[in-house]
């Protein structure tokens, strides 16, 4: 009896929680509850960490060069479009870059921002294809914890943003992320062109630097909520943003250390440079001829 009452209370609280969401977005795709996206994310994790590698174990890797070209430059175009929409719906047309609140009205500006937030959220599912392509190409060394965690947590956390706070202070990091993705997927697209473009990809290391700068800017900007007397309408979202921004900052710093300081993931154009091994600690240092 107590279990039934507890379950009934939990269901009631869950329903009340959903009712507190933005009524403008409640009927949009994947926004009715967190269950559909949870199923998609769980299936993604299972495929890229277990099922996919098993299916590919005794198969030749797929040649996806043309697919990757179309995919990467399509994501570049989508990211450019989202940058434009974020700027035109707030960040370039009235936002103060301080304590910007969510516009819950049905005004053209408010609805434009809400739609842009949903598009950004949905783009996170498209970007899961990054990992699927790694698996199909048998690039399992690329399927790291950082990579899978990043692609899993972003859509999950952004569901809360679109559901409860599609706009204002909490969308700054989305704008930054779109800018970073324009640069990042341009690099991936050029990489897919093959060896002919390899000599022009010396700036791979700087992609991680850009990502680190992004997370520093996100944590700094978001800290305004905790420092200023900011009446942002959905405080939980700001805590979520700070939590994963700090998590990514630490994870990317760890990646930077192992990939570049220890020389485990240098760009090919730098791998061809002369390497001098430090016999004491095994670290490789690159130098020009």
Q: What is the structure's pLDDT at 265?
A: 53
Least confident residue range of 29-43, 46-60, 174-188, 252-266: 252-266
Q: What is the structure's pLDDT at 174?
A: 97
Q: What is the structure's pLDDT at 267?
A: 45
CA pair distance 69, 60, nearest whole angstrom = 20
275 φ/ψ angles, rounded to the nearest 5 degrees: -115, 135
More confident residue, 266 or 154: 154
Q: Is 115 a catalytic residue?
A: no
Q: What is the structure's pLDDT at 264?
A: 56
Please determine, for residue 196, whether its predicted confidence score (pLDDT) is greater than 90.
Answer: no
Q: What is the structure's pLDDT at 263?
A: 59
Please determine, for residue 269, whether its predicted confidence score (pLDDT) is greater than 60.
Answer: no
* Residue 80 buriedness (CB in 10 A; 0-12 / 13-18 / 19+): middle
Q: How many CA atoms lie within 13 A of 19 on its CB side?
A: 6
**Contact 109/93 with Cβ under 8 angstroms?**
yes
**204-247 pLDDT, tens per residue?**
878 889 999 999 999 999 999 999 999 999 999 999 999 989 99
Catalytic residue among 115, 147, 150, 221: 150
Read off the pLDDT of each residue in 38-48 and give the average, rounded to a whole number. 98
**92-139 pLDDT, tens per residue?**
999 999 999 999 999 999 999 999 999 999 999 999 999 999 999 999
């Amino acid at each position: 009896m107590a279990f039934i009452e507890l379950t009934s209370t939990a269901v009631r609280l869950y329903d009340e929680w959903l009712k507190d969401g933005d009524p403008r977005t409640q009927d949009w795709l994947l926004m009715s509850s967190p269950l559909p996206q949870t199923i998609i994310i769980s299936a993604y994790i299972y495929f890229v960490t277990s099922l996919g590698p098993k299916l590919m174990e005794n198969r030749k890797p797929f040649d996806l060069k043309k697919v990757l070209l179309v995919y990467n430059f399509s994501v570049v175009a989508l990211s450019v479009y989202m940058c434009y929409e974020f700027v035109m719906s707030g960040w370039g047309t009235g936002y103060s870059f301080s304590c910007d609140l969510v516009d819950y009205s049905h005004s053209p500006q408010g609805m434009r921002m809400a739609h842009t937030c949903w598009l950004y959220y949905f783009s996170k599912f498209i970007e899961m294809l990054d990992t699927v392509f790694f698996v199909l190409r048998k690039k399992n060394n690329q399927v790291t914890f950082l990579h899978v965690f990043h692609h899993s947590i972003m859509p999950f956390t952004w569901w809360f943003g679109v559901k409860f706070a599609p706009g204002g202070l909490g969308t700054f990091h989305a704008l930054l992320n779109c800018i970073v993705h324009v640069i990042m997927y341009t690099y991936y697209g050029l990489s897919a062109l093959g060896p002919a473009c390899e000599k022009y990809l010396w700036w791979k290391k700087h992609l991680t630097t850009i990502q680190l700068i992004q997370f520093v800017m996100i944590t700094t900007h978001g800290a305004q909520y905790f420092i200023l007397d900011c009446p942002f309408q959905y405080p939980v979202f700001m805590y979520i943003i700070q939590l994963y921004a700090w998590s990514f900052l630490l994870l990317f710093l760890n990646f930077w250390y192992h990939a570049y300081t220890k020389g485990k993931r240098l760009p090919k154009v730098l791998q061809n440079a002369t390497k001098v091994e430090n016999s004491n600690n095994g670290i490789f240092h690159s130098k020009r001829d």
